[in-house]
């Protein structure tokens, strides 16, 4: 049953499938031991050993030397033990080599089944280890099949498929078999069905990786993505910041004539992207996040992590966005609750005495904000 060809096959498995031969031999010894016990009794103390350097298999049984034998499978009398070796005494363990020729075809088949299962387990562990390095990475895959809206893609360099559920697809996208598709590896997990790879194109990680690929300054750390808020297929907001004074974060992400940002938007099915300059000042950050709407002023309540933003009346719908999309994304991006109010509502509120307005006709003073009282003074003086 076990011969030179068998051990050569083990070496080939180690080379072609990257399976550790020692692990395989250990699994095989365990399987053959189980098969042997199945033939001769589970109570029997025995162990199968493979010896690759000799291309042989050995089966050893173990019995304890006792005065009176009660369990023949595990015990041997002192008299019988001394026939094997005269120095044996009570309590010693007698090791005997069994005849492998008695290992029948049924036992061998049982061992084969167990070994094949062990092989699958080892292969699965190897696959899981190799693929775990791809988690949180962007991969180019090929669509293999589409079933009930779920897209299955082939992961290059492996025999494993990636699964892209409907919620992980960008709305409006269509796929066909053999299409080359970029995907983000969202999660790799081990299940009873094997290694499962969950991939996505709607995840914010997908957009982040696209920026890292298209914008070299992000790869080098000269530009940092602070946060991303995304409504897949519609609009995203990406907060960016330069780490060096001479770097223009916005220009780096847009690229010459918009080539970089357009490449990214084309990959995400035309989804609009707002590049938002990040600021440690929450007032400025919130105002920037509401782009493309113009903001007049921002008030915050730090304890409630909330803000009130005043915008021109004709920019209210732009600030809020269709179905509240713009303000919702801005809130997710900044982490602040944002309440948008039109300018007219503030002017009509008699309780509000001091509201900051950005003025463009106050000269070159650094302070470009004034209160309602300042505005009245300017109008009376005729300036």
Encode pLDDT of 56-105 as tens digits: 888 888 999 999 989 888 899 999 999 999 999 999 999 988 876 766 56
The residues of the chain that CATH labels 2.40.50.140 are 143-202
CATH 3.30.1480.10 boundaries in the chain? 4-131
Q: Is residue 107 very low, low, confident or very high in pLDDT (cuts 50, 70, 90)?
A: low
Confidence (pLDDT) at 45: 84
Lowest-confidence region among 99-103, 234-238, 247-251, 335-339: 99-103
pLDDT band at 372 (very low <50, low <70, confident <90, very high): very low
**Element of type H or E holding 21:** helix 21-40
Where along the chain do the CATH 3.30.300.20 domains lie? 208-278
**Residue 167 · residue 198 · CB < 8 Å:** no
For residues 257-263, average pLDDT: 96
Fold held by 143-202: OB fold (Dihydrolipoamide Acetyltransferase, E2P) (2.40.50)
Domain 4-131 fold is N Utilization Substance Protein A; Chain:P; domain 4 (3.30.1480)
Spatial separation of the C-alpha atoms in residues 264 and 213, rounded to whole Å = 9
| Among candidate residues 284, 280, 297, 298, the one with its CA nearest the CA of residue 359 | 297
| CA–CA gap between residue 107 and residue 7 (Å, rounded) | 19
pLDDT in tens, 151-194: 999 987 777 789 999 999 999 999 999 999 999 999 887 766 66
Mean pLDDT of the chain: 83
Give backbone dihedrals phi and psi of 21, rounded to 5 degrees, phi first. Answer: -65, -35
Cα–Cα distance for residue pair 170/232, rounded to 1 Å: 6
| Cβ atoms of residues 282 and 308 within 8 Å | no
Helix pair 282-289, 325-334: axis angle to 10 deg: 150
Residues forming beta bridges with residue 35, ordered by sequence position: none
pLDDT for res 331: 97
pTM over 0.75: no
CATH 3.50.50.60 fits 208-278, yes or no: no
User: How many C-beta atoms lie closer than 10 Å to residue 264's C-beta?
Assistant: 21
Q: Are 182 and 201 in contact (CB under 8 A)?
A: yes
């Amino acid at each position: 049953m076990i011969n030179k060809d068998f051990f050569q096959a083990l070496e080939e498995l180690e080379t072609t499938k990257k399976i550790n031969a020692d692990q395989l031999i250990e699994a095989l010894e365990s399987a053959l031991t189980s098969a042997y016990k199945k033939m001769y009794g589970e109570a029997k103390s025995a162990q199968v050993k493979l010896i690759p350097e000799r291309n042989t298999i050995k089966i050893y049984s173990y019995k304890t030397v006792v005065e009176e034998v009660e369990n023949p499978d595990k015990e041997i009398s002192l008299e019988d033990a001394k026939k094997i070796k005269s120095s044996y005494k009570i309590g010693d363990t007698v090791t005997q080599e069994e005849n492998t020729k008695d290992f029948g075809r049924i036992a061998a088949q049982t061992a084969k089944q167990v070994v094949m299962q062990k092989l699958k387990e080892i292969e699965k562990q190897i696959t899981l280890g190799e693929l775990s390095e791809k988690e949180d990475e962007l991969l180019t895959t090929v669509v293999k099949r589409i079933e009930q809206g779920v897209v299955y893609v082939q992961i290059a360099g492996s025999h494993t498929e990636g699964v892209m559920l409907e919620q992980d697809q960008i709305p409006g996208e269509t796929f066909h078999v053999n299409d080359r598709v970029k995907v983000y590896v969202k999660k790799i997990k081990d299940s009873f069905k094997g290694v499962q790879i969950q991939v996505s194109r709607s995840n914010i990680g997908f957009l982040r990786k696209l920026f890292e690929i298209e914008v070299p300054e992000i790869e080098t750390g000269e530009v940092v993505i602070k946060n991303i808020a995304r409504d897949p297929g519609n609009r995203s907001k990406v907060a960016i910041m330069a780490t060096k004074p001479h770097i223009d974060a916005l220009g780096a992400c847009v690229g010459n004539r918009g080539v970089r940002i357009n490449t990214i938007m084309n990959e995400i099915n035309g989804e609009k992207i707002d590049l938002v300059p990040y600021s440690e000042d929450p007032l400025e950050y919130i105002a920037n996040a509401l782009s493309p709407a113009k903001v007049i002023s921002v008030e915050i309540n730090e304890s409630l992590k909330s803000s009130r933003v005043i915008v021109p009346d004709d920019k209210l719908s732009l600030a809020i966005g269709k179905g509240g999309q713009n303000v919702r994304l801005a809130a997710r991006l900044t982490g602040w609750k944002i309440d948008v109010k039109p300018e007219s509502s503030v002017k009509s509120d008699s309780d509000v005495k001091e509201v900051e307005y950005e003025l463009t006709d106050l000269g070159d003073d650094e302070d470009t904000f004034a209160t309602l009282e300042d505005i009245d003074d300017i109008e009376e003086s005729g300036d």
